[in-house]
Amino acid sequence: MHDRPNEFLVRTAPFGEQDRDAVYRAIHTRRDVRDQFLPDPLPDDLVRRLLEAAHAAPSVGFMQPWSFLLIRDAQTREAVWQAFSRANEEAEAMFPQERRSAYRALKLEGIRKAPLNICVTCDPDRAGPVVLGRTHDPRMDAFSTVCAIQNLWLAARAEGVGLGWVSIFHEAELKAILGIPDRIAIIGYLCLGYVEELYATPELEVKGWRRRLSLDDLVFENRWGEKSEPPVIPAAAAVPALRGS
């Protein structure tokens, strides 16, 4: 028996098969969209649903450190794209010469093409100087904000909205463009819009940049590097949502 009032509790019965498979389908068909955005604006009620999904994310100490800066203004997005473009040229030079042409082929035009950009930030001071669960790892506020982004991403997939995460910036330059205070951390710059189609597998895999790793190589048991035999998760049961698709 528990001592909590019933009105604060919900039953944890499994979802029905159709609902469960829809969750898994959103997870396994979510993609990072780079330049396939349509110009059609996203309805305000849809954007609100996406933000509500993000705000429902778990956060360490219930600190809810996130904020969402919505950017629709074309002039502002052009300034952001220019900042990205400068950083992207620097990034290209970091790769070996033989990979640079492949890097250039990965078009990143969402900042200008997507009708909505969202800068997701993290306020490390929102819950005060001592936060339950963050006492020994100061990164937990940033990790919590990433959970909000993942919620938003999966909700966008369910709504038929593409989302791309742009990470190639000098943070100080982006803060200056958007008027973000120094103490606030930028966690993600997101581009959102309708798309006609998504890649069946991640674009970086389709274009030969990297392949998905085997799950069996990444699962250990009890101690680092030790594996169970047979594998903990049978491959045939791993993706129920994609059966027959």
The CATH number linked to 65 is 3.40.109.10
- Which domain covers residue 117, as residue numbers? 32-198
216 within a domain of the structure (yes/no): no
Tell whether 23 is covered by a domain: no
The string of pLDDT tens digits covering residues 205-224 is 988 889 999 999 999 999 99
**Residue 229 belongs to some domain of the structure:** no
Residue 206 lies in a domain: no
Residue 63 is assigned to a structural domain of this protein: yes
pLDDT (tens digit per residue) in 136-189: 999 999 999 999 999 999 999 999 999 999 999 999 999 999 999 999 999 999
Does 89 have pLDDT greater than 70? Answer: yes
- Select from 112, 96, 105, 144 the least CA-distant residue to 39: 112
Over pLDDT 90: what percentage of the chain? Answer: 77
Q: How far is CA 78 from CA 40, 82, 113, 117, 175, in A?
A: 18, 6, 10, 11, 15
Q: What pLDDT is recorded for position 242?
A: 55
| Predicted model pTM | 0.89
Q: Work out how many domains the chain is built from and give that number.
A: 1
Residues for the chain: how many in total? 245
How does residue 52 score in pLDDT terms, banded at 50, 70 and 90? very high
Query: What's the gap between Cα 226 and its chain centre?
Result: 30
The answer to whether residue 159 is domain-embedded is yes
Residue 203, domain member (yes or no): no
For residue 241, pLDDT beyond 60: no
- The answer to the question of residue 15 being in a domain is no
